[in-house]
Amino acid sequence: MNNDLSATEAARLLNVSLPTLYSYVSRGLLASVSNGDSRRKRYPQEDVLRLAARKNDARHGGQTAVAAMHWGLPVLETRISHIFDGRLLYRGCDATALAESATLETAAGLLWDDNAIDYFQQDAPVLPQELAGAPDAPPLARAMLAMAMLASMPALADILKSGPALMRILAAALLQTAPSALPLHLQLAQVWHADAQQTELLRAALVLLADHELNASTFAVRCVASTGASLAAALMAGLAALSGDKHGGGSAAARRMLMQALAAPDASAAIGAYYKTTTPEFAGFGHPLYPDGDPRAAYLLGSLTTMAHEKPELAAILAVCAAAGELLDTRPNADLALAAMELAFGWPEGSGWSVFMLARSAGWIAHAAEQAASAALIRPRARYIGRHQRD
């Protein structure tokens, strides 16, 4: 399908006159392509939309960075993923469509280089004994420790550059197992004793959470990667960002709400009391980038609904989810879906967080590679608002 635009269409999108459009071409800001035998030029739609976004940023002047920190304007360009019209797209592919059958490994290959190479054909890495980790530590701490130790071992240079090896090591740290070449969703399923339906849901969840544009942890990864640090060090930065309740703690907060509501004589009262002290956005409900609802949550909760008639515990959990949505007058996000899965299937507490970490590592690796390839150091400026001179 040819998405090239006419000069009139391109000028309308850019909100400029035709002479201004032609000046953009002459200045190298926009490409034009020949229209076959016709002398009229055409303009690639994606290039026009990208230039329109840049013009929009420029109008906001020095407020761009401030707005970006509050779910506003973009601060980096990427070819990896974006959120558009309520959909999450990986290199132009709808994540919810991919979730129907893809694995996390397939999604990772798409994010890394549009599946030009099957990276996961290689064997699982064999690691030194000292990388076994601290058995009594929680999964996030074990994962951070593994990445920190890898980053300090230059002798493991091949592993430090290998996305598949690092994802398998991360899975091993989260699950306290040896690194394996088994598909990652099956590794989770084996340790958590998931049945066939649950295993399929795990597979889909990993795909849906593999990337999410320029969120806090991904930006941290890109900042570290821009310094020339190793891939393991960049992943450690992403894990550190996830340790914050406002980013990685959403499924745990949603789980607490579900447990309190299920145990209370009046579920609605318990839900209302919980969200008086907890921001819904950080505990399962609402998302600034999805005003009409998080498609990842819709997919996962929809799958859970089809299973509920055979599982009374799951039906009760979904009833609480519905009651909370009505009370808050907002729709669920992916954190609520992870919490519902964890609680309904009796997986270890914090397993939703582990799913999130393992899934998102695929996107982190893609962004780290894209940032490193740009050879640019991320070094924004601050707007000083303090005292300029002391008396």
Q: What is the pLDDT of residues 364-379, one digit of tens each?
A: 999 999 999 999 999 8
d(CA 280, CA 285): 5
d(CA 215, CA 212): 7
Of 360, 372, 67, which Cα lies nearest the Cα of 218?
A: 360
Q: What is the pLDDT of residues 257-269, one digit of tens each?
A: 999 999 999 999 9
pTM of the predicted structure, to 2 decimals: 0.82
d(CA 23, CA 202): 51
Q: Where are the beta strands (DSSP E) in 193-255?
A: none
**What's the sign of the alpha-carbon dihedral 293, 295, 297, 299?**
positive
Facing residues of 94 across strands?
A: 89
Residue 89's H or E segment, with its range, is strand 87-90
Amino acid letter, residue 134:
A
Any residues with CB less than 8 A from the CB of 135 and at least 6 apart, and which? Answer: 176
At residue 182 the predicted structure's pLDDT band, cuts being 50, 70 and 90, is very high
For the ranges 38-52, 213-227, 339-353, 365-379, which has the lowest average pLDDT? 38-52
Q: What is the DSSP letter of 383?
A: -
At residue 10 the predicted structure's pLDDT band, cuts being 50, 70 and 90, is confident
Facing residues of 261 across strands?
A: none
d(CA 274, CA 212): 27
Mutual angle of helices 104-113 and 184-192, in 10-degree steps: 150
Domain ranges in the chain with CATH number 1.10.580.10: 92-391
Mutual angle of helices 184-192 and 163-175, in 10-degree steps: 10
Of 239, 200, 237, 196, which Cα lies nearest the Cα of 356?
A: 239
Q: Class assignment of domain 4-90?
A: mainly alpha
More confident site: 70 or 235: 235
Q: What is the per-residue pLDDT for 219?
A: 94
d(CA 387, CA 389): 6
Of 78, 106, 62, which Cα lies nearest the Cα of 225?
A: 78
For the ranges 49-53, 71-75, 144-148, 303-307, which has the lowest average pLDDT? 71-75
Token pair belonging to 183: 């598909």
How does DSSP assign 33-88, residue by residue? EEETTEEEEEEEHHHHHHHHHHHHHHHTGGGHHHHHTTT-S--S--SSEEEETTEE
Token pair belonging to 47: 């290039």
Token pair belonging to 61: 């002047």
**386 pLDDT above the threshold of 90:** no
Average pLDDT over residues 298-321: 95
Token pair belonging to 387: 């005292």
Q: What is the per-residue pLDDT for 130?
A: 63
Average pLDDT over residues 94-101: 98
CB 198 within 8 A of CB 204: no
Q: What is the per-residue pLDDT for 14?
A: 87
Of 280, 259, 264, which Cα lies nearest the Cα of 346?
A: 259
Q: What is the per-residue pLDDT for 29?
A: 83
Percent of the chain, pLDDT > 70? 90
**200 pLDDT above the threshold of 60:** yes
CA distances from 302 to 100, 204, 285, 335 (A): 12, 12, 16, 14
d(CA 23, CA 121): 49
Q: What is the per-residue pLDDT for 132?
A: 62
**66 pLDDT above the threshold of 50:** no
Q: What is the DSSP letter of 93?
A: E
92-391 CATH fold: Citrate Synthase; domain 1 (1.10.580)
- Which contacts qualify for 61-67: CB closer than 8 Å, 24 or more apart? 62/383, 65/380, 65/383, 66/383
Q: What is the pLDDT of residues 104-153, one digit of tens each?
A: 999 999 999 998 888 999 888 877 666 666 677 889 999 999 898 888 88
CB 26 within 8 A of CB 4: no
CB 314 within 8 A of CB 300: no
**69 pLDDT above the threshold of 50:** no
Domain ranges in the chain with CATH number 1.10.1660: 4-90
CA distances from 352 to 1, 101, 135, 211 (A): 40, 20, 19, 16
Q: What is the per-residue pLDDT for 61?
A: 46
